[in-house]
Structures are given as C-alpha cells and as structure tokens.
Amino acid sequence: MKQANSNEFLIELFSLIIIVTVVQAIWVTVIRPHAEVIYASNLAAMAHDKEFVPERDVYSIIKDYEPETCVILSCWAFFIIGYKSRAILRARRLLETDLLSLPPGVRILPEDSREYARQIEALPAALQSELLPRALLSGLHRFGATKNIQDVAFAIRETCNLETDRLDSELSMVRFVAWAIPAIGFVGTVRGIGNSLQQAHKAVEGDVSGVVAGLGTSFNSTLVALSLSIVVMLCLHQMQLRQERTVLDTENYLDTHLIRHLQMR
C-alpha cells in the first residue's frame, strides 16, 4: 500500500510538470500572440470608427497569467480524478466475479476459512490490494479466529469504513485545487483593479484604455476561475459519489457471497 501511494505521488507530480509545460507552450505560442493581434486590430478599428464595439473573444479572456494558472490547476485536477476513476473501475469489475467460487447451498465452517483464504492469497498482488479481496481476507481470518459471524460482519464493515476514509483523504489535493482556482481568480481581480488605479490619471486626461485593460483583466480572471471551479467541483462530487457507491456495493457483495454462507456449526 505504501509503495502504491508513493507511485501515485510520483505520477501526480510528473503529470503536473507535463501539464505546466504543455499549457505554458500553448499560451506562449498560440494564446497570447492571437490576443495581441486581436487587440491591435480592435485598436485600429476603434481609431477609424468611434462607434466600433469589439467583441469578446476567448484568446483575450484567457491570455493573462491568472486564467493560465487556473487552466493548469484544472487540468491537473481532471487528471487526478481520471486516475482515481481507473481504480474505481477495477474495483467494480471485481464485483462482477465470484472470487470464492462457492456452489449454491455450500456453507463455510470456521475450519474451512483458511482454505478459502488461500484462494484469495493466490491472486496477483495487484488484485489483493483492492478493497474486495482485502475485505474477504479480513472476514475469513476473523471467522477462523473467533468462530463468530457477527465478528466477521464487524471486521468487514471496519475494512470498508477505513477504505472510505482512505479514498476521501486521497481527494484532498483535488479539494485544494477546487479552492485554489477561485482564489487565484480573485488575485487576478485585485491585480486588474490595481492596474486600473495606476492608470487613473490617464483616464482624467481622456485616455481610458489603461483603465479598461485593467478592468478587463479583473473580470476575465474572475470569469475563468469561477467557471473552471464549477466544473472541477462537479467532477469531484461525481467521483466521491462513485467511490461511496463502490464501497456500499462491496459491502452488499460480501453479505451475499460470504456472510450468508458462513455457519458456526
């Protein structure tokens, strides 16, 4: 388990580095050059036509550093959620198999628990680390030790509760990102307002372009940050829902395929 957690940390770290590199390259080579061209075109059009109203475009909205950072964090959150989803898919595939291969009507006695536990222990190490095999082993070992079905149910429930806590803690980074995105948008808002205030003396003289540019940075940062935050939070809650359903389905599986087959004597 510790090795798996270490591997996940390295995967998330390298994914962040790759996302930063790719997004930065796109912004430098595509987004900002296009935004500059559009801005120059709008200035030329407004110089010839005082009633010209420039249209809002995607390049101008996301060209600043704060929207870029929000996009980076959002992509990272989506990657983590997608990576966690693979684990949920593996767990759900296991629920479609009968790991103990018990014929109908067969009962498991305390002295038989070790034999069935060997079937689980013979699985590949990658499968043994999943929730279902771990809960099955916990239940079988508890039944062989205590010969009490209620203790088995308690051991299984405890294993599932620990898994719920573990899955919840592993999403802490996504929660941080979901909090950080609007916070970065607010930083862009403050920076844009600050730039506008620095250009206030020019506005008094009739040149409002600096004030407008600063307010544009402010509003664009807020728009991008809040929009991405909503999407990240939606994906996060859907991920949590799937995890909770998988744990509950695992408990139902263990009740049907293990506990109901147990017999004390």
Give the burial string for 74-88 (b: 16+ CB within 10 Å, else e). bbbbbbbbeebeebb
In angstroms, the CA 12 to CA 112 distance is 43
Please say if the pLDDT value at position 4 is more than 90: no
Residue-wise pLDDT for 154-185, tens only, equals: 999 999 999 999 888 889 999 999 999 999 98
Would you state the pLDDT for residue 111? 86
Query: Cβ contacts of residue 99 below 8 Å, gap of 6+?
Result: 119, 120, 123, 132, 133, 136, 257
Residue 245: pLDDT band (50, 70, 90) is very high
* Token representation of residue 234: 């939606």
Label residue 206 left, alpha or beta by phi (over 0 means left) and psi (-120 to 50 means alpha): left
In angstroms, the CA 172 to CA 255 distance is 31
Beta-strand (E) ranges in 36-171?
A: none
Please say if the pLDDT value at position 64 is more than 80: yes
**Least confidently predicted of 36-45, 49-58, 105-114:** 49-58
Q: What does the DSSP 8-state code read for residue 106? A: -
In angstroms, the CA 52 to CA 225 distance is 29
Please say if the pLDDT value at position 104 is more than 60: yes
Please say if the pLDDT value at position 196 is more than 70: no
Residues in the chain: 265
Cα dihedral 175, 181, 187, 193 sign: negative
Would you state the pLDDT for residue 264? 75
Candidates 200, 185, 167, 162; CA nearest to 66 is 185
Question: What is the chain's mean pLDDT, rounded?
Answer: 84
Query: Between 216 and 261, whose confidence is greater?
Result: 261
Residue 76: pLDDT band (50, 70, 90) is very high
Residue 210: pLDDT band (50, 70, 90) is low
Query: Between 112 and 68, whose confidence is greater?
Result: 68
Please say if the pLDDT value at position 201 is more than 60: no
**Which residues pair with residue 262 across a beta bridge?**
108
Token pair 């060209």 is at which residue? 63
Helices 172-198 and 65-94: crossing angle in degrees, nearest 10, is 170
How much is the average pLDDT of 180-209?
Answer: 72
Model pTM score: 0.85
